[in-house]
Structure 1
Amino acid sequence: MKTLHSEWIKLRSLRSTWLTLACLFVVGLGITALAANATGDIWAEATAADRQVWDPTGHSLTAYIVAQLIVGVLGILVVTSEFATGLMSTTLTATPRRTRVLAAKVALAAVVALVAGEALMFGAFLIGQPLISRQGVPSAALGDPGVLKAVLAGGLYLAAIGLLAVGLGALLRATAGALATLVGIVFLVPALAGLFPSWLRGIFDFWPTLGGAAALNVVPDPDYPHPWVNLAGMCLAVAGVLVAAFLVFRRRDVV
């Protein structure tokens, strides 16, 4: 508990923590408003087939696309900020059990990312749906079938991204390197899927961030018919990265 309390003091004393969280909500809710205001034009141009699979919940949760990057920055800084300032040596002198230090960082990042992620997703839904409805477009309510699960899934997805970022930060020990790797995992590799040989494209049926994000939709994605299984698989992959981070963090020199 003392280690956890110490990590909390360090995290809340960093200006970057609060700036990152403020950016998460300002940018996330701003994107929600823009996306919701665009639904009128999208609905007007939609075909009958498109309207059959219209998902107002998914439209109001599109902020996760950018939010995952901001949450990732926060998760990376939980670890790399101490390497950058040299404070990690002091931390490990005070708490020689390295696994305890990293476990405290992981636990703290998980709680902060989950609370912030759920708050953002609920805020995005509650702001987005009235804006969608005001344009004469079908909207959703939290009590509708599958809606609450989708909103909750958004927070869980962002928490998983935050933990992935912590693991990458511990493995790479540099903010720029960890962030570049995170961007590659979340954005670049899926975007370049079409460039891979046909015999390799099957892996994208199981790429964690693609399948996990499908859980944010109420209308099932035909490519991911079991999104919660995909989200669980994503969490399992993140756990694997964290295991590697613990092994490396315990054995490698601080500098």
Structure 2
Amino acid sequence: MTTQVIRSEWTKIRSVASTVWTLSLTAVVTVALGMLVSALARQQFDNLGEQDRLSFDPTYVSFAGMGLGQLAMIVFGVLVVTNEYSTGMIRTSLAAVPRRGAFLASKVAVATALALVVGMVTSFAAFFLGQAMLGSLSTSIGEEGVLRAVLGGGLYMALIAMFSMGIAAMLRSPMLSLGILMPFFFLISGILGVVSATKKVARFLPDQAGGRIMQVVTPVGDDTPYGPWGGLGIMALWVIAALVGGYLLLRKRDA
């Protein structure tokens, strides 16, 4: 990767309004929904059963908006890759940067750096504002496992964007990419996670494994065979597989 290529990719991303808006929406939705759920959790805590109280995780509650916010991050990742295919600019880009590996790596690096910054800011904002809503039920950033969870929230968002970029590089179409990723993360993964026959397999899906990093309190009866960092590692393997697949297809086919 050269400085000129990276600079070019940065210019592409910031000059497209849709990518800027999706990142903004990621932050707003995640923080707002986290605050709302935290406020509701504070009101309903006295009505919880004993087991639910033992499993109550104030840190994870403040991240309740991550599930919806990640959808905006998925859109960002898809648009970063597919905008050039939609406009036909991909031919010009590949003519200017004939080394397709360098082209894709530069695009992913710039977009990931931006997603990581937004993800970290969003994660810390969601945590502190969520804890403010929880009041007496809140925890602090200095408690064991909390800082890891907050930092992990930012890393999770960046990995979601990278995974989406890999899938988009393989499919090239924004509609097809979003048509697969949106239902998968918003519906299919959640359904597989609650069905007894598929629950153990669903633990190894990217969102469920990666989301483990944001948990501080282990739910009663949870027998997940990996810890927070192990889950994030599983998610990283999914990301690597998606990006490698995107690169291989980009290298073989015409623009």
Matching residue of 1:78? 80
Q: Secondary structure at the match of 2:137?
A: coil
Matching residue of 1:214? 212
Matched residue type, 2:8: S
Matching residue of 2:139? 140
Normalising by structure 2, report the TM-score.
Answer: 0.92
The runs of 5 or more residues in structure 2 that have no matched partner are: none
- In percent, how many aligned pairs have the same letter? 37
Contact 1:171/1:248 (CA < 8 Å) preserved in 2? yes
Matched residue type, 1:132: L
Q: Name the CA shift for 1:223/1:70 in 2 (closer, same or farther; >3 Å).
A: farther
Normalising by structure 1, report the TM-score.
Answer: 0.92
Runs of 4+ with deviation above 3 angstroms: 194-198
1:188 to partner: Cα distance: 2.6
Matched residue type, 1:105: K
Matching residue of 1:177? 176
| Larger displacement relative to structure 2 (24-33 or 50-59) | 24-33
1:130 to partner: Cα distance: 1.1
* Superposed CA offset, 1:38-75 (max 9, x none): 01232021122221221110110111101111111111
Matching residue of 1:155? 154
Matched residue type, 1:66: L
1:196 to partner: Cα distance: 7.2
1:147 to partner: Cα distance: 0.4
1:187 to partner: Cα distance: 2.6
Q: Secondary structure at the match of 1:38?
A: helix
The runs of 5 or more residues in structure 1 that have no matched partner are: none
Q: Secondary structure at the match of 1:100?
A: helix
Out of 36, 43, 57, the position equivalent to 1:34 is 36
2: CA distance, partners of 1:195 / 1:32: 22
Matching residue of 1:67? 69
Q: Name the CA shift for 1:201/1:219 in 2 (closer, same or farther; >3 Å).
A: closer
The answer to whether 1:23 aligns with 2:25 is yes
Spell out the pairing of 1:235-250 with structure 2 (5 A cutoff).
235-250=236-251
1:197 to partner: Cα distance: 8.8
1: CA distance, partners of 2:124 / 2:12: 28
Contact 1:79/1:169 (CA < 8 Å) preserved in 2? yes
Matching residue of 2:191? 192
1: CA distance, partners of 2:196 / 2:36: 37
The answer to whether 1:107 aligns with 2:106 is no
Number of matched pairs: 250
Indicate the RMSD between aligned Cα atoms, in angstroms: 1.7
Contact 1:205/1:223 (CA < 8 Å) preserved in 2? no
Contact 1:75/1:166 (CA < 8 Å) preserved in 2? yes
The answer to whether 1:127 aligns with 2:125 is no
Q: Secondary structure at the match of 2:188?
A: helix
